[in-house]
Amino acid sequence: MIKSLAIIDDDEIFHLTVSKTIQLVKIDCKVKYFVNGEEAMSFLLTQIDIVDDLPEAIMLDINMPVMDGWEFMEEYAVKLKPRLKKPITVYMVSSSINDKDIERARKLSDISNYYVKPITENKIREIINNLN
């Protein structure tokens, strides 16, 4: 069962929506929220050796200030993934329905799936079930 989830998205309404949806589907997990990729990367790198502090999954937005989702994935592949002591499943979650974004996400082996917002109860269940 998932213990921890990281949401990397600059939309605080999305943070609230995901939090409420997780409660509705009765999943007991800690959720950490970050408003951009740089904030999340900094946290993950400082916690890299504390396995219990690392999330099992990341829900990553594309368009954010400071460091967007694509830049985060570039750094993830180089700075983070080689040092991880447990797997982290990354899901791209965006309002973009642009075929170029969807195709780019599919080409990145570190992205497990691409979801278009809004995140529904069924999508949350699907994400959680894929981790089990």
- Contact predicate 62/101, CB 8 Å: yes
- In this prediction, residues 85-92 reach a mean pLDDT of 93
Percent of the residues in the chain that have a pLDDT greater than 90, as a whole number = 69
Give tens-digit pLDDT for 57-67.
999 999 999 99
Report pTM: 0.91
Which domains are assigned to the chain?
4-131 (3.40.50.2300)
Distance CA 97, CA 5 (A): 24
- The order of strands in the sheet holding 111-116 is 30-34, 4-8, 57-60, 89-94, 111-116
- In this prediction, residues 47-76 reach a mean pLDDT of 93
